[in-house]
Amino acid sequence: MLPVMSLASQPPLELVDEIDLERYQGRWYEIARLPNRFQAQCEGDVTADYALREDGRVAVTNRCRRADGSRVEAEGVARRARPDGPAAALEVRFAPRWLSFLPFVWGDYRVIALDDDYRHALVGSEDRDFLWVLSRRPELERATLDELLARARQQGFELEQLVMTRQSP
């Protein structure tokens, strides 16, 4: 009961007004994230590749490096959370396609901030449990990172556990 009450007390996330998924596709480097069970084994070199599909959905390929140097890859798909909803309100699944009818296999992917030139983005979930700072390059200027984190705090994200991602040169 408490998680529901907690979520109910949070206002909806303020999303970017517009997003061009064609411009959004391509490689993004993770700069920082809130810890989550899906990435528990990721020590660094975390990337996300997005590619538009013919059906209007987005192919997602996440990669990272484990502590032992081995690589992990997960493939998924993203779609609009509601067909008539904003393009910045997406949901993503990494479960097999045959399970896609189950609502709980889809996770929130909300674009909260996006640079006009699509150089960096802030992505989170409505329940504020997930947050990622993404950049087109493996590094991000400190001032830009601070701006994005301030935006996350304004939207109710608790950043005490934030993990800075190590990217290899």
The tens digit of pLDDT for each residue in 32-81 reads 999 999 899 999 999 999 999 999 999 999 999 999 999 999 999 998 88
Averaged pLDDT score across all residues of the chain: 90
Domains of the chain as residue ranges with CATH: 12-164 (2.40.128.20)
Cα–Cα dist 106/57, whole Å: 13
Q: How large a percentage of the chain has pLDDT more than 70?
A: 88
Measured between alpha carbons, how far apart are the two ends of the chain, in Å? 46
Burial letters 80-115, b for 16+ CB under 10 A, else e: bbeeeebbbbbbbbeeeeeeeeeeebbbbbbbbbbe
Closest listed residue to residue 112, CA positions, set 12, 42, 29, 5: 12
Cα–Cα dist 118/157, whole Å: 22
pLDDT digits (tens, 9 = 90+) for 2-22: 344 444 578 899 999 999 999
Cα–Cα dist 81/112, whole Å: 15
Q: Is 9 helix (H, G, I), strand (E, B) or coil?
A: helix
